[in-house]
Amino acid sequence: MNTRSFYLSWKSRKFSETQCYAVLFFLLIPASYLIIQLESGNRILFHGIVFSSGFTLFTFFEYIAHRFWMHGKEEKHPGKRLELHKHHHTHPTELKITASMRNCLLLANLILVAVACWLDNYFTLFTGFYSGFVGYCFMHVILHKRWAAKFFPALQVSHIHHHCKYPDRCFGICTTRWDQLFNTASPKEIKISERILQFYFGNHDH
Ligand SMILES: [Zn+2]
Ligand SMILES: [Zn+2]
């Protein structure tokens, strides 16, 4: 098999949930090695890498949960969570997490950052993971605002595609990296029509 045919078979591959976990496992090996090497060195660098790892780990589970738990199991395991997600797809302007909920989550996040600084150990990993969750809650609502096109154009286009054209693609909210890695990103050349934008943003022009 030459390099090009290997690349094409990788690109056309449909990863199962188990295969995604296997890829994560192989990514965790060098990341863990790096973190252990840094532990006795610069503490700021160590905590920065550990925090980023926790945050990235959350984005992986965000991708898995959206792709495999909220989509694809509708017929086998109908449930309230799936219903809520389905509702958001048909009513994109409606989000169940309110502004006051998000502010509470953010407050808890600040407390966790303070605790992580005080503990100065691997608790930072959990803080990073939780920050990923809070980041997701804020990013999702931001991606439903027109002004987000200025700051997060690629993420917003990806989310519009997921809502309106490719419900079996574009699952990432905080990042499109996992979609790219697991071959679920949307085709780049697709244009978004005004009709789709009206449906996605509703009539509120903000
Ligand atoms: Zn969805
Ligand atoms: Zn959405």
Tell me how far apart the alpha carbons of residues 199 and 163 are, in angstroms, rounded to a whole number: 10
Burial (0-12, 13-18, 19+ Cβ within 10 Å), 126? middle
CA of 112 to the centre of ligand 2 (A): 27
Q: What is the pLDDT of residue 12?
A: 66
pLDDT in tens, 50-100: 999 999 999 999 999 999 999 876 655 666 667 888 889 888 888 888 899
pTM of the model: 0.87
State the Cα–Cα distance between residues 158 and 167, nearest whole angstrom: 11
Give me the domain span that covers residue 161.
15-201
Residues 6+ apart with CB under 8 A from 26: none
Domain count, the chain: 1
Whether 3 maps to a domain, the answer reads: no
Is position 6 within any domain? Answer: no
10 domain-assigned = no
Q: What is the pLDDT of residue 5?
A: 57
Cα of 7 vs centre of ligand 1, distance in Å, is 28
Distance 173 CA to ligand 2 centre (A): 8
The DSSP letter of residue 138 is H
| Inside any domain, residue 171 | yes
Q: How far apart are CA 1 and CA 132, in angstroms?
A: 39
pLDDT digits (tens, 9 = 90+) for 123-182: 999 999 999 999 999 999 999 999 999 999 999 999 999 998 889 999 999 999 999 999
Question: How would you label 38-56 residue by residue, b for 16+ Cβ within 10 Å and e otherwise?
Answer: beeeeeeebbebbbbbbbb
- Residue 30 banded pLDDT, cuts 50, 70, 90: very high
Ligand with the closest atom to the CA of 159: 2
4 inside domain: no
pLDDT of residue 172: 96
143 Cα: distance to centroid of ligand 2 (angstroms):
7
- Which residue has 């090996």 as its token pair? 29
What are the respective helix, strand and coil percentages of the chain, to the nearest 5?
Answer: 70, 0, 30
**Residue 23 located in a structural domain:** yes
pLDDT-derived band at 115, boundaries 50, 70, 90? very high
**Domain for residue 8, yes or no?**
no
Domain-embedded: residue 7? no
Query: If you measure from the C-alpha of residue 181 to the centroid of ligand 2, how many angstroms do you get, rounded to a whole number?
Result: 21
The pLDDT score that the predictor gives to residue 178 is: 96
User: Which ligand is closest in space to the CA of residue 63?
Assistant: 1
Tell me the CA–centroid distance for residue 163 and ligand 2, in Å.
Answer: 7
Please report which ligand is nearest the Cα atom of 170: 1
Ligand showing the shortest atom-to-Cα distance for residue 145:
2
Q: Which residues contact 51 (CB under 8 A, 6 or more apart)?
A: 116, 124, 125, 127, 128, 131
CA of 48 to the centre of ligand 1 (A): 31
